[in-house]
Each structure stands twice: as structure tokens, then as C-alpha cells.
Copies of this chain bind each other. A is one copy, B any other.
Amino acid sequence: MSALRPADRIGILGGGQLGRMLALAAARLGLDVVIFDPDPDCPAGRVAAQLVCAPYEDLAAVARFAASVQAVTFEFENVPVASAREAARHAPLRPGAQALETAQDRVTEKTFLNAHGAQTVAFRPVASAQDARDAMVALGAPAILKTRRFGYDGKGQAVVRSADEAAAAFERFQSRPAILEAFAPFRRELSIVAARGADGAVRAYPVSENRHADGILRESFAPARISAFAAAEADRIARAILDALDYVGVIAVELFELEDGSLRVNEIAPRVHNTGHWTMDACAACQFEQHVRAVAGWPLGDPSALRSARMINLIGSEAGDWPRWLAEPGANLHLYGKREAREGRKMGHVTLTGPLSRG
């Protein structure tokens, strides 16, 4: 369990906005950052000590990158597992490749979760159109067909209402391995962001309530107004997952709160997460600092909320509202330095904070 020292280097696979915010947090703690990203103009590369530009599949480049830093982490869960394993040969990889493998495949992920006391919705693996029909019969309509791998922000998902629709959706996804998930009649979408240190200590942030539209997160409110029971249950689930994976770093667990108040895990993200952005402006130590601390082998920081927060994503053309947000008293504007505001692209976010409500 090696710990980094000030002016040591952390390598980050991925140079998007999460890598950028990680790099800023690392810099505040006196660390240098090396970004690995195929895009020479990626957002994180412009705030890092060095940018290594190569495809994620280039194992020789990954090896050189990892050998040049004291610890490696990643900002997205679709890093090729072979590349992660190659990096781990040259520097501590935190979290480890097992977390990546678990999160990259929805069937593996849900099987893992259920095995460790974290309930999910019912599901069936789908490898053929006939599987899709059979699964539909078993789970009942409506259900959601998703590709097993490489989905994000609602891509590769379809709501299906009959065996025919399920089979058609499977074929529309080019017959890639898929999963059919029972529909969760949820009351609210919640998430818990938590961290585990190299020493095994776990610290969880207050649960946030999240609102999605078209599969993309629009807003988070935190701390969520949930029962003490639900808060304890979210905490228990996060700890069970972190311990089972012998995890080091920040993880996000997306949850459905059902009508009866019970929780189901929707999915896990083995990285800092959009639903934790509110912590930057409202918590003692934010999720990016927390992840850097864990990756560096340092003690975790204090995840307590000092303020209540509403985090609003700026998506696509909404980034054009930046002058309004800049002029809004007390609004904390974060822009990611992306040059093109394509539809559905996360361009920045705003956090509004207020006093913590008591009890």
C-alpha cells in the first residue's frame, strides 16, 4: 500500500470533464497529473502537466504512461480491461480492473450486486431474439432492453412492451449481447457517492435525489429528503459493494426508491460521478478530492455536507446560458472547456447552495 508524496504524478485514463475536475483537485493537493486520451484537445489535457495522446487500446503507450506515474486511475468505465491490466503492471491501479470488468457488463454487474446483498430489478440475459421473447414473458411488460456493454446517457436502451418489440429491439441493436430488465415502478431516483481508502476506510456522501430526462441527468438535489431507514440502507449497499470489490477510490451507486420505500440498485459507476458534482460547492471535501486522496493512498477527507445544493447540468445549447449563470448571485458555474456544444453533450454545470435544513 504505497502512498504518494507531494509533486508525485497521478495518471488518469480519460481526459473528459471528470478527468479535468480530478486534475484540478489533484493540483490543489500539490500533485502533478498525466492525462491519457486519444483527443489532443481533450478538456483535461489543458489543465495537466502532461497529455499522452494515443488510442486506449495501445498497450505499449499505456505501459509507458503508467511507468511514468506513481498511481493510475480512470475517469470512465469503458477503459479496455486489457489496458487497465497493462497499466496495473507498472503502477498501482485504483480502483482495480475487477471493478471495471464488473461495471462494464450489465449482467455481470447485476449478478455481482445480487450476490452481495444489493437488490436490483429482475433481469434476464439476452443472446438471441428468442431469448428476448422468452425474457419478456418471464418479466412481464413493460421492460427495458439494453445492450450489456458500452451504454451511457441512455444510449443502447429501448422500452419494450411485447415479445415482438423485445425481439425487434434486440435486432435493432445489431444482435449484440443484451439484457432485459423488469420495469421498476420507482418513486424517485437516488444515488450515493462513496469512497474507500487504500486502508479500507469507507466514507459516504449524503444521498442525492436525481432527475433524468431522455436518459441524461438534468438535476441533483442534496442532501436528499429521505427517511433515516433509506439513508442507512443506501449506506449499507455502498459499503457492501466497496468491500466486495476491495475497491480504492470513489464509486457511485444509482438507486431506485420504490413506492414501498425499498431501494433497488440501477447501476454502479466505478468512478467520480455527475450526481456527485454538488459536493464541489457544498461539502467539506468534494468527490474529486476524495478520489485523489484514495488513489494517492492518503486518508479520506470529510464528506459532510456544509450546505444544501441543487446541481443543474448544462447540456448542449444550454451552455449558452453561461452569462446568465455568471450574473446569478451565489451560483457556482463550472464549464468544461469543450469547444463545441453538440446536442446531449455535457458542457458544464451550475450549483446553487443554501443553508442545510435541520432535521
Contacts and interface: CB of A to CB of B under 8 A. Distances in A.
Q: Which 8 A-B pairs have the closest CB atoms?
A: A30-B335, A46-B49, A27-B47, A299-B327, A30-B337, A6-B335, A302-B330, A302-B329
Contacts of A293: 326
Nearest to A28: B334
A20 B26 CA distance: 12
Given A20-B27, A302-B330, A348-B30, A7 B337 contact: yes
Contacts of A304: 330
Given A7-B339, A28-B334, 15 more contacts: A7-B337, A7-B338, A20-B27, A24-B24, A24-B28, A24-B47, A27-B47, A29-B333, A30-B335, A32-B46, A47-B48, A298-B323, A302-B330, A306-B306, A306-B307
B29 A335 contact: yes
Given A6-B319, A46-B32, A49-B47, A27 B326 contact: no
Contacts of A336: 30
A347 to B, nearest CB: 8
A280 B111 CA distance: 44
Given A299-B327, A302-B329, A326-B293, A27 B46 contact: yes
A284 interface: yes
A186 interface: no
Interface string A1-45: 000001100000000000010011001111110000000000000
A322 interface: yes
Nearest to A281: B284
A337 B4 CA distance: 13
Contacts of A27: 20, 24, 46-47, 337
30 contacts: A6-B322, A6-B348, A7-B339, A23-B47, A24-B28, A24-B47, A27-B47, A27-B337, A28-B334, A28-B335, A29-B334, A29-B335, A30-B334, A30-B335, A30-B337, A30-B348, A31-B337, A32-B337, A46-B48, A46-B49, A47-B48, A284-B332, A285-B332, A298-B323, A299-B326, A299-B327, A301-B326, A304-B330, A306-B307, A306-B353
Interface string A67-97: 0000000000000000000000000000000
Nearest to A17: B30
A335 B48 CA distance: 16
Contacts of A327: 299
Contacts of A6: 319, 322, 335, 337, 348
A192 B49 CA distance: 33
Nearest to A340: B7
Contacts of A32: 46, 337
Interface in A280-319: 284-285, 293, 298-299, 301-302, 304, 306-307, 319
Contacts of A31: 335, 337
Contacts of A307: 306
